[in-house]
Amino acid sequence: MSGRGSKRYSIAAAAMQVAIGLTIAGCSAKEHPMTTLAPKSDLAQWINSLFIEVTAWDAIILAIVVFAFILAVFVFSSRVGEAAPASAATSDLGLEIAWTLGPTLVLVMISVPTIRTIFRSQPAVAPAGALEIKVVAHQWWWEFAYPDGAKTSNELHIPANRPIRLSLESGDIIHSFWVPQLGGKRDVVPGQINELTFIATAPGMYPGQCAEFCGLSHANMRFRVFVDSPDDFAKWDRAQLAGPAAIPATDLLASNGAKLFANSPCTTCHMIQGVSKGYIGPDLTHFASRTTLAAGVLKNTPENVAKWIGKPQETKPGANMPALLLPGPKMDALVAYLESLK
């Protein structure tokens, strides 16, 4: 008896812990989930309001239909053994008008707010004072280029409370740019520039994801959007515009790594300002300032950098990055150099 009671108690306690855990996770300011139901931009807010409005109309229609169904089954139907009521009418004009107008009204209620949101959220020209950023989608990473010349990959920084205008281009095939809390999906189509305009309202980190199947590592085509305060954004932007961080004379490992990089095949694809001019892969000038690598798949730690360089296919099947087979000490030096590029 007491055994069963304590088991029930422990199940209840576990359920309570899960509920508390979920509540804390939901409330945490740092952990922004990939949800469209907690909008953090004007665009996402409009889409969420539209979703709620249409769902509310649908709920009202559902309630009316269920109510009419119950009436038909339980009130206006004939009982067993009872003769069905005879009707002399062959048509009912009132009824015909009602079921022509009813669905029309439903379509109007749904289409008017939808069309209004489409026009509101897709201005033909960038709003005044907008920060215009070029986004290029590649298999499988994202390139972000700022009007002042700053360039980064897979981690977009934007200032809060300022209009942002992204022009989305593809370097190869169709992708789709999607940050659930900041706005709707926008396809990235080769040979065409699509725009996405929004104002992020709350600083924080928002995870994004390519939302159009684009090959083997489509699911590994992630990215992050950092919404910074205007001061933090200005600071980040200044740091990105500067050349690569100088390697301290005492850091022999990183210095050796720098020499190794300059003479490696990495230079064919990767740019490091003043060192190499590759443009096929991400710009590495400020690689160490990014929190992740391989398009948001791995945390940016020395172990992960070595893992990525040595066996990229393990992390991202199909990636164009060739494996660089380096003996341990050389790999350590290369990783130390890359991790010095703040």
Beta carbons of 197 and 293 less than 8 angstroms apart: no
Contact with ligand CUA (CB under 6 A) among 210, 266, 271, 297: 210
Per DSSP, what are the bridge partners of residue 299? 292
Name the one range near ligand CUA by CB under 6 A: 41-49, 99-107, 210-218, 274-282.
210-218
Beta carbons of 23 and 82 less than 8 angstroms apart: no
Q: Does 175 engage in binding with ligand CUA (CB under 6 A)?
A: yes
Nearer CB in complex with ligand CUA: 154/276: 154
Q: Does 212 engage in binding with ligand CUA (CB under 6 A)?
A: yes
Q: Does 182 engage in binding with ligand CUA (CB under 6 A)?
A: no
Per DSSP, what are the bridge partners of residue 166? 133, 196
Number of H helices, E strands in the chain: 9, 14
Cα separation, 84 vs 88, in Å, equals 13
Amino acid at 326: L
- Residue 185: Cβ within 10 Å count: 16
Among candidate residues 186, 206, 207, the one with its CA nearest the CA of residue 196: 186
Q: Does 218 engage in binding with ligand CUA (CB under 6 A)?
A: yes
Q: Does 155 engage in binding with ligand CUA (CB under 6 A)?
A: no
Contact with ligand CUA (CB under 6 A) among 164, 166, 214, 293: 214
Q: What is the number of alpha carbons within 13 Å of residue 247 lying toward its C-beta?
A: 20
Q: Does 166 engage in binding with ligand CUA (CB under 6 A)?
A: no
Q: Does 185 engage in binding with ligand CUA (CB under 6 A)?
A: no
Q: Does 40 engage in binding with ligand CUA (CB under 6 A)?
A: no
Q: Does 186 engage in binding with ligand CUA (CB under 6 A)?
A: no
Q: How many residues bind ligand CUA (CB under 6 A)?
A: 9
Beta carbons of 97 and 23 less than 8 angstroms apart: no
Nearer CB in complex with ligand CUA: 68/219: 219
Contact residues toward ligand CUA (CB under 6 A) are: 137, 140, 175, 210, 212-214, 218, 221
